[in-house]
Amino acid sequence: MPEIVYLNGFFLTKNKALISPDDRGFNFADGVYEVIRYYKGQPFLFDEHIRRLERSLNAVKIVFNDTHELQNIFNRLILENRLNNLYAGIYLQITRGSAKRTHHFPKENLQCTIYATAFEKKPMLKQLKTGIKVISRPDIRWLRCDIKSIALLPNTLIFQEAVEHGADECILIRQGNITEGTHSNAFAVKNNKVYTHPDGNLILSGITRIAVRKICSELNIELIEEPVKQHEIHNYSEFFLTGTGNEIMPVVQIDNYIFGNGIPGKITREIQRAFFKHTYEQLAGEIIGI
């Protein structure tokens, strides 16, 4: 079955979706994106994703007033690609549009380019159960990591290093602090308290991170938003990452340091279980055995 995508008002097969070489997304990475998880047709924290999209658009001064139409577009993409009974994701990209290449914004009122795709995204059951290994690298990104910009070259370069080292993600270090992962937020546990880098310009405010905040308050687990120092990591008993793709992912090893006895920690498991209740159970009506 050919993949159906959305481009600028039309649903069409992917091979017919043509974007101008003058698109400012192509020339300058002048655009923003979102990824939303769909649990058997039900989106996860849809409104929060739209709010973050609006913040990103405002931050880069792209005018797009039709966010209220996105839900219908995404639902149709899920249906047309027969993903309504599966675990899936929507990728949305909005660029400033297409115009003669100039560094400043074009003078004419540009039509933004709106592109969205739907894809199957199975739960990463094995890794969610056993946990993953990660490496650490300097955070070489810019100082507006709060914008979900399509300019992801630093993230891809660093993640490639993780892949080449047989690791599943790379955590980023800025001035001795763990900021986040290349495509995930980072959390560490000490004395049953959860620590994570505060919101601000140095991390992306993850939607899964919002869910973790809520779960911690429901479970009476203290969540402290202050940076974890890389050189103090051996004082923490557990570590996990969060993201639309990897959900609540236990980390059992950072570089050469192994947490506990190399299996996911108790607090991580509690948060993971509560997250699965909100997603697989409540949205999809399925209990996944981890």
Judged by CB under 6 A, the stretch of 66-74, 104-112, 239-247, 262-270 that binds ligand PMP is: 239-247
The residue within the footprint of ligand PMP, chosen from 53, 86, 90, 204 (CB under 6 A), is 204
Residues forming beta bridges with residue 252, ordered by sequence position: none
Q: If you ran DSSP here, which 8-state letter would residue 245 be given? A: T
In DSSP notation, 20-44 reads: -TTBHHHHH--EEEEEEEEETTEES
The residue within the footprint of ligand PMP, chosen from 89, 131, 206, 264 (CB under 6 A), is 206
Is 208 an interacting residue with respect to ligand PMP (CB under 6 A)? Answer: yes
The residue within the footprint of ligand PMP, chosen from 56, 149, 244, 268 (CB under 6 A), is 244
Element (H, E) at 263: none
Distance, in Å, from the CA atom of 161 to the CA atom of 74, rounded to the nearest integer, reads: 33
Judged by CB under 6 A, the stretch of 17-25, 219-227, 236-244, 266-274 that binds ligand PMP is: 236-244
Strand ranges, E, within 40-196? 42-43, 87-95, 113-120, 132-138, 169-174, 177-181, 185-190, 193-196
Of 167, 210, 164, whose CA–CA distance to 187 is shortest?
Answer: 210
Distance, in Å, from the CA atom of 70 to the CA atom of 51, rounded to the nearest integer, reads: 12
* Closest CB 74 distance from ligand PMP, rounded Å: 15
Judged by CB under 6 A, the stretch of 76-84, 215-223, 238-246, 273-281 that binds ligand PMP is: 238-246
Is 30 an interacting residue with respect to ligand PMP (CB under 6 A)? Answer: no
Q: How far from 97 is each of 54, 107, 110, 148, 281, CA to CA, in Å? A: 17, 12, 6, 17, 40
Size of the chain in residues = 290
User: In the window 159-188, what residues touch ligand PMP (CB under 6 A)?
Assistant: 180, 183-185
Residue nearest to ligand PMP as judged by C-beta position: 206
Per the annotation, the verdict on 121 as an active-site residue is: no
Q: Which lies closer to ligand PMP via its Cβ, residue 146 or residue 255?
A: 146
Is 227 an interacting residue with respect to ligand PMP (CB under 6 A)? Answer: no
**Annotated active-site residue in 148, 193, 229, 277:** 148
Q: What positions carry a catalytic annotation?
A: 148
Which residues lie near ligand PMP (CB under 6 A)? 35, 180, 183-185, 204, 206-209, 242-244
